[in-house]
C-alpha cells in the first residue's frame, strides 16, 4: 500500500509545477514575460483605452551574430536589450502602464504595447512618431547596456500597428492581427534595406573598395609571430565596415563568391611584402568557395603561385558549416589542396560546428579554439575542460591549437598554463591594415 503524501511532498510537487509553469511564461534570459503571459493585461488596457499601439522589434533579422559569435554572445545582447527597455521606463520614455514582453521563451523578438497619453487617442500619425522616437532612444541607450562580447552597432527591425477595441472580435485575435501587421511592416523594411545593401555591396566589389588587415598569430611561450590571419573590411563609415557583417550580407544576397574572390586576390597580392620569412598566411575560406574552380582548385593554386608564396606558407581556415549533401565535394577539395602542400585550419572549435568525423577525414594542421570560449576562460572551469579536450585531441591527430580572441592577461596566463601553443587577439596584437608599398612590422 502506497503511503499518503506528506506535506513536504505536496509542497515540492506544487513548487515543481509552479517552476514548470513559470518557465513557459517568463523568459529566464531577459526576465520579461512572454506574449501569452501578458494577453490579459493587454486586453484590459485595450478595453480601457479603446486603442493601443504595438511596436514589434526583431533582433534576429541580421542573422549573423549568433552563428558567428555563439549563443552566449547573442543571449548577452538580448539581456542588454531588455535592460535598455527597462532604463527607458525609468526615464519615463515608456509609461508605467506600457507593457514590454517577448514573443516566447528564448525569443529574440520584443513587443512593446504603448498605452498612449491621456489626451487624444492614438492614430496612425501619432504611432509613427512614437515608434520613431522609441527607435532613436533605444539606439542611444543600448551601448551602455551591452558587454564587451557583443559587437556594435546592433541592428534590428521594427514595425508597428494600432489595435482597436472591437466588440465583434475576440481581443486576443485583435492582438494577433496587429502583431501580423507589425511583423509585415518590419519585413517590408528589411527587404528594402537588404536591397540597398546589395546595391552598395555591388559597388564595393566592382570598385575593389575593401581593406585587408593582418592579425598576428603568436607562439604563446616565445611571443614569436608564426603567421597572420587575414581579415577583410569594407569602407570606413559604412554599414560594411565591420568584416563579419560585410560577409554576412554577401552570403544573404548571393554575392559571397564574388567577395571572397576579391578578398583572396587582394590578400595574396600583398602577402609577399608583409609576411616575414617562415610565417604563414591564414585565409578564411567558405565551404562553397572550396568547390568553385575560380577560387579553389587550380585557380587558387595559380593565384598562390603568382603571389610568390610557397604552398606550405598558406593555411586555409575553414568552418564546417556544410550540409550532408555538400560534404563529399567539400572534403575532396580539402584533401586535394592538402596533398599540394597547403595547410588546413578548422575554425570555431567548440562552437558546435566542427565534428570528430571531419577531423578524421580532413586531418587538419590547426584547430582554432572559438573566441566565445576563450573569453573569460580563466573564470570558467567548463571552458577550461572543453579546451583540455581540444588540446588532447590535437596531440592525437598531430595538429596545433590556436586560441582566438585573447583579450586579457588572465586569459593568456591560463592558456599558457594549459599548454596551448598558439594564440591571437587584441591583447597580443590588433589587426592592422598595411598601406600599399609598405612593409608590415615583424
Q: What is the CATH number of the domain that holds 233?
A: 3.20.20.450
Q: Name the more confident of 199 and 299.
A: 199
441 falls within a domain = no
Q: In this predicted structure, which of 43-47, 229-233, 254-258, 289-293 has the lowest mean pLDDT?
A: 289-293
What integer pLDDT is reported at residue 155 of this predicted model? 83
Residue 353 pLDDT class (50, 70, 90 cuts): very low
282 falls within a domain = yes
Residue 26 pLDDT class (50, 70, 90 cuts): confident
> Is the pLDDT at 126 greater than 90, yes or no?
no
Q: Name the more confident of 212 and 437.
A: 212
**Grid cell for residue 287:** 565551404
404 falls within a domain = yes
Q: What is the DSSP letter of 293?
A: T
3 state DSSP class of 294: coil
Please check whether residues 86 and 189 belong to one and the same domain: yes
Please check whether residues 70 and 218 belong to one and the same domain: no
| β partners of residue 114 | 53
203 falls within a domain = no
Boundary (domain end) residue, out of 171, 196, 221: 196
Provide the mean pLDDT of the chain.
84
Query: What is the domain-level CATH number for residue 170?
Result: 3.30.70.270
> Is the pLDDT at 441 greater than 50, yes or no?
no
Q: Exposure pattern of 117-150 as b/e (b: 16+ CB <10 Å)?
A: eeeeebeeebbeebbeebeebbeebbeebbeebb
Please check whether residues 267 and 164 belong to one and the same domain: no
* Number of Cβ atoms within 10 Å of the Cβ of 401: 24
Residue 22 makes CB contacts below 8 A (sequence gap 6+) with: none
Domain range for 142: 11-196
3 falls within a domain = no
Please check whether residues 186 and 228 belong to one and the same domain: no
What integer pLDDT is reported at residue 23 of this predicted model? 62
Phi, psi of 260, deg, nearest 5 = -65, -40
Please check whether residues 165 and 246 belong to one and the same domain: no
Question: Could you give the number of structural domains in the chain?
Answer: 2
- The pTM (predicted TM-score) of the whole model is 0.74
Percent of the chain residues past pLDDT 70, beyond the cut: 83
Residue 393 pLDDT class (50, 70, 90 cuts): confident
The position carrying cell 477595441 is: 165
62 falls within a domain = yes
Please check whether residues 284 and 420 belong to one and the same domain: yes
Please check whether residues 232 and 184 belong to one and the same domain: no
What integer pLDDT is reported at residue 352 of this predicted model? 47
What integer pLDDT is reported at residue 14 of this predicted model? 62
Residue 114 makes CB contacts below 8 A (sequence gap 6+) with: 52, 53, 54, 55, 94, 95, 98, 122, 127, 130
Please check whether residues 172 and 244 belong to one and the same domain: no
Please check whether residues 151 and 272 belong to one and the same domain: no
Boundary (domain end) residue, out of 168, 196, 224: 196
Average pLDDT over residues 256-274: 90
The position carrying cell 598601406 is: 435
What integer pLDDT is reported at residue 341 of this predicted model? 92
What integer pLDDT is reported at residue 333 of this predicted model? 84
Average pLDDT over residues 269-291: 87
Boundary (domain end) residue, out of 196, 231, 247: 196
201 falls within a domain = no
33 falls within a domain = yes
Amino acid at each position: 500500500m502506497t503511503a499518503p503524501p506528506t506535506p513536504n511532498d505536496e509542497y515540492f510537487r506544487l513548487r515543481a509545477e509552479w517552476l514548470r509553469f513559470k518557465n513557459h511564461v517568463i523568459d529566464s534570459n531577459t526576465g520579461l514575460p512572454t506574449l501569452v503571459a501578458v494577453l490579459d493585461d493587454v486586453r484590459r488596457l485595450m478595453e480601457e483605452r479603446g486603442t493601443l499601439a504595438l511596436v514589434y522589434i526583431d533582433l534576429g533579422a541580421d542573422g549573423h551574430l549568433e552563428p558567428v559569435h555563439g549563443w552566449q554572445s547573442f543571449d548577452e545582447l538580448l539581456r542588454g536589450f531588455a535592460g535598455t527597455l527597462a532604463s527607458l521606463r525609468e526615464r519615463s520614455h515608456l509609461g508605467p502602464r506600457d507593457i514590454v514582453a517577448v514573443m516566447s521563451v528564448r525569443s529574440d523578438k520584443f513587443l512593446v504595447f504603448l498605452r498612449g497619453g491621456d489626451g487624444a487617442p492614438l492614430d496612425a500619425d501619432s504611432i509613427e512618431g512614437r515608434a520613431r522616437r522609441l527607435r532613436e532612444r533605444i539606439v542611444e541607450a543600448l551601448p551602455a547596456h551591452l558587454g564587451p562580447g557583443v559587437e556594435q552597432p546592433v541592428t534590428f527591425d521594427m514595425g508597428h500597428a494600432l489595435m482597436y477595441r472591437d466588440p465583434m472580435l475576440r481581443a486576443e485575435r485583435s492582438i494577433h492581427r496587429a502583431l501580423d501587421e507589425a511583423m509585415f511592416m518590419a519585413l517590408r523594411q528589411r527587404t528594402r534595406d537588404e536591397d540597398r545593401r546589395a546595391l552598395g555591396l555591388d559597388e564595393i566589389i566592382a570598385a575593389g573598395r575593401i581593406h585587408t588587415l593582418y592579425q598576428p598569430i603568436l607562439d604563446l611561450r616565445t611571443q614569436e609571430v608564426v603567421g597572420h590571419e587575414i581579415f577583410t573590411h569594407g569602407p570606413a563609415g559604412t554599414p560594411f565596415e565591420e568584416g563579419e557583417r560585410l560577409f554576412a550580407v554577401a552570403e544573404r544576397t548571393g554575392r559571397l563568391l564574388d567577395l571572397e574572390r576579391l578578398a583572396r586576390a587582394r590578400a595574396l597580392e600583398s602577402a609577399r611584402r608583409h609576411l616575414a620569412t617562415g610565417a604563414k598566411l591564414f585565409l578564411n575560406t567558405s565551404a562553397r568557395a572550396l568547390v568553385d574552380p575560380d577560387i579553389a582548385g587550380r585557380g587558387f593554386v595559380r593565384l598562390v603561385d603568382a603571389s610568390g608564396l610557397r604552398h606550405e606558407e598558406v593555411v586555409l581556415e575553414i568552418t564546417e558549416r556544410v550540409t550532408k549533401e555538400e560534404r563529399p565535394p567539400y572534403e575532396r577539395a580539402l584533401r586535394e589542396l592538402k596533398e599540394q602542400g597547403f595547410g588546413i585550419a578548422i575554425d570555431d572549435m567548440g562552437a558546435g560546428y566542427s565534428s570528430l568525423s571531419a577531423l578524421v577525414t580532413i586531418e587538419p594542421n590547426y584547430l582554432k579554439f572559438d573566441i566565445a570560449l576563450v573569453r573569460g576562460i580563466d573564470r570558467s572551469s567548463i571552458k577550461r575542460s572543453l579546451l583540455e579536450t581540444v588540446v588532447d585531441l590535437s596531440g592525437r591527430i598531430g595538429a596545433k591549437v590556436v586560441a582566438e580572441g585573447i583579450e586579457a592577461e588572465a586569459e593568456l596566463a591560463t592558456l599558457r598554463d594549459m599548454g596551448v601553443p598558439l594564440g591571437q587577439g587584441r591583447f597580443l596584437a590588433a589587426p592592422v591594415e598595411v598601406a600599399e608599398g609598405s612593409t608590415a612590422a615583424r
